[in-house]
Amino acid sequence: MPALPRLRAALTAPVDAASLIAFRSTANRVSTNGDANQEIFLWSATGPTTTQVTATTGGASDGVSLSSDGTRLVFKSNRDVVGGGNTDLTNEIFAYEVGGAVTQVTDTPVGGGGNRFPVLAGDGSSLAFESDRDVTGSNADHNFELFRTACGLEVTMTADQAAVVVGEPVDYHVTVHNGGALALTGVYLDATGAPACNQFVGDLASGASTTVDCSYVATLADVGTHTNAVVADAGRASTKRRQRSSSYSTP
């Protein structure tokens, strides 16, 4: 009798009248894992069908969590799953929109244990995970802490000026995008170096974006280099999703 393929870290959740199981496996279950690497798969009772979520070489992808409505799963991997986002091969958190694409949720420097043990909220709108990386700028001692983040939020920031003198403003443009499949409520911005950028954005539908314009006037304390880091989150929680920073020089 041939040996059965190994299945690990399985998690099941009901979806209407069907069932989904997300798991990791080294088996060549759908003829796309010929190197027998450890990959993430999703099985559906409809069909039934099996989808290979990751396709990597070496390393490990595991720690799968599936939302109870079956719309999203998250996992931990030390592979460059999406191409170019994890070239240092640290442990990062990734999300998969069922029927869609994989996105990288965390992006932290290599070292320590990295990011691990992701757990999704039932509706897939947010996730919690453990990390010893300085994910939000408040874990400089690299202790293992718990973080919570909204799924799908992306934030980018530009500044009109590269250098100013004391008394002149720096004008920022912060764009928030909901790249997830679910609408997000209570989206807000929190800035470390420009209080005017601390703004409540409100609700963002799936695929929607909005831009916040804000300014900061340079002071004597900023002579040299001033950095403004902006984070975005939803649901009025205290931990953040993505961080973007901008620096300018003050003569």
pLDDT band at residue 40, thresholds of 50, 70 and 90? very high
Residue 9's pLDDT is 34
Q: Is the pLDDT of residue 10 over 80?
A: no
Domain with CATH 2.60.40.10 in the chain: 153-250
Least confident of 104-113, 146-155, 232-241: 232-241
Q: pLDDT, tens digit, for every residue of 155-180? A: 889 999 999 999 999 999 999 998 77
Which superfamily does CATH assign the domain made up of 153-250 to?
Immunoglobulins (2.60.40.10)
Of the pLDDT bands very low, low, confident and very high (cuts 50, 70, 90), residue 183 is confident
Q: Give SS3 for 196.
A: helix
Residue 152 main-chain phi, psi, to 5 deg: 95, -10
Q: How far apart are CA 121 and CA 50, in angstroms?
A: 23
Cis peptide before 48 (omega within 30 of 0): yes
Question: Is residue 91 very low, low, confident or very high in pLDDT (cuts 50, 70, 90)?
Answer: very high
Apex CA 202: angle with CA 162 and CA 76, to 5°? 75
